[in-house]
Chain A
Amino acid sequence: MKKRITVIIVTVIALLTIVSYLISERLNAYQDIEEVIEQEFRTLRQYVEDVYAIEFLDDDRALVFYSWDFPAFYNFGVMELEKTWRGWQFVEAISNRMERKRAWLKGTYAEIGDHAILRGPTWASVDKIEIITADGREYIPELGRAEWQMWYLILEDEPFEEATFILYDSDGEVLKEEVLEFDLNWPE
């Protein structure tokens, strides 16, 4: 009698463990990253946010390019998310106030996780940006669109303090050429 009860209890506990593990696995697999992002912004109380792009660095790491506090102000940011056994989790978010008015282009440097990121707002009519550094390296940053347009570059090599940005419209015409400086020691 006693033996039978023990066997039943052990079996039930084992089954419950397996079932809950499977459920959590499935929930994580189908977890909508956009919902997670929304939830994280709610938690951080960074309201009226706009997501411009989501970049997956690998299966369990993602960078979200966003702005918050639109339309009153413009805080352009990047957020790192990591997939753990509990699903996608917020790791770090860096946002900088950049005034979009009266400027074709703004940009800030930041390190998030082990990545160097350049990002900022640019005009809606800009279709392509070319970056040329002083030592002759060339990059084409990505453009993300939401309420405004945001450019961003995930640097794989050495960061640079200054570069020329050439802005093109959709016909390939040069709209503007601008030199941006980056403070590589930010925030300190």
Chain B
Amino acid sequence: MNLSLKYRVLMIVVFAIFIGVFLYYYGTKARQEQAVAEELREYSYIAREYALDAIYKSTEFPVEVELYPSAHTEAILERWKAISDRYPELDYPEAAIEARDWIEVHKSFEDTDLLNGVIRKMYKDATVTSEGLGVSYITLLDYIFYQKYEASNIEDVVIDLGIEPSREEE
């Protein structure tokens, strides 16, 4: 076949445009998918930590996520509020909780220095020693989120501070 130069150039241009559109489309799609995956990972983490009931809806991307508080969520919030009432530096974001903006809610736990300060104060006020127990902000998070007493004596602290009823009363 003996195509004229004009046609050859035209063909190459059309071909190049085709490939360009193709690459652009897949690049955007891949970025979008990555963003969606990132978001879903965050939702799944929040749903787990705050013991939330979850509804995921999708016929097309992106997936729609609705999170609702469960009975366990209320218990977490109660423990959090009790500590925040006594140590107001630990923020209890009532408005965000009311609005069920859980990702915003979780920002209150971003500052680990502040959390370390709170737990240190709690031990000091309760005159309970934390020596050799490796108490840190993790102890505080474990207590608020999982009511986990192990590996520390945080139970003595919260009972002493009147945040939890003493064991005899139960």
**Which residues of chain A have a CB within 8 Å of any CB of chain B?**
43-47, 69, 72-73, 75, 77, 89-97, 99, 108, 186-187
List A contacts of B73 (CB < 8 A): 97
Q: Which residues of B contact A187 (CB under 8 A)?
A: 53, 55, 66, 68
- What 0/1 pattern do residues 14 to 53 of B give for CB contact below 8 A with A? 0000000000000000000000010011011001100111
Task: Report the interface size class on chain B.
Answer: 20 to 34
Q: Judging by beta carbons under 8 Å apart, are A89 and B72 in contact? A: no
Measured CA separation A92–B48 after assembly (Å): 19
Residue of A93, A97, A99 with most chain B CB atoms under a 10 A cut-off:
A97
CB distance from B51 to the nearest CB of A (A): 4
B58 located at the interface, meaning its Cβ lies under 8 Å from any Cβ of chain A in the complex: yes
**Minimal Cβ-Cβ distance residue in B for A42:** B37
CA distance A46 to B41 in the complex (A): 8
Q: Considering the complex, give the chain A residue whose CB is closest to the CB of B43.
A: A45
Is B4 in contact with chain A by the CB < 8 A criterion?
no
> Across the interface, which residues of A come within 8 angstroms of B54, CB to CB?
75, 77, 93-95
CB closest residue in chain A, given B45: A45
Whether B52 lies near A97 (C-beta < 8 A) is yes
A-B contacts, 26 listed (Cβ < 8 Å) = A44-B40, A44-B44, A44-B63, A45-B37, A45-B41, A69-B48, A72-B48, A73-B48, A73-B51, A75-B54, A91-B57, A92-B56, A92-B57, A93-B54, A94-B54, A95-B53, A97-B51, A97-B53, A97-B70, A97-B73, A99-B72, A108-B53, A186-B53, A186-B68, A187-B53, A187-B55
The A-B contact count (CB < 8 A) is 58
User: Is there an interface contact between B58 and A90, defined as CB atoms closer than 8 Å?
Assistant: yes
Q: Contacts of A75 on B, CB cut-off 8 Å? A: 47-48, 54
Q: Does B2 contact A (CB under 8 A)?
A: no
A73→B15 CA distance, assembly (Å): 54
Asked, given contacts A92-B56, A92-B57, A187-B53, whether A43 binds B72 with beta carbons under 8 Å apart, the answer is no
Q: Is the CB of A96 within 8 A of B70?
A: yes
The CA-CA distance from A77 to B51 in the complex, in Å, is 13
- Measured between alpha carbons, how far is A122 from B61 in the docked complex, in Å? 35
Closest to A98 in B: B70
> Which residues of chain A are near B68, meaning CB under 8 Å?
186-187
A171 to chain B, nearest CB (A): 34
Cα A69 to Cα B43 in complex, Å, equals: 13
| B72 contact from A90, A95, A97, A186, Cβ within 8 A | A97
Please report the C-alpha to C-alpha distance between residue A72 and residue B51 in the assembled complex, in whole angstroms: 11
List B contacts of A97 (CB < 8 A): 51-53, 70, 72-73
Closest 7 CB pairs of A and B: A45-B44, A45-B40, A93-B56, A97-B70, A97-B51, A96-B53, A45-B41
CA distance A95 to B68 in the complex (A): 10
* CA gap between A77 and B53 in the complex, in Å: 9
Residues of A within 8 A of B70 (CB): 96-97
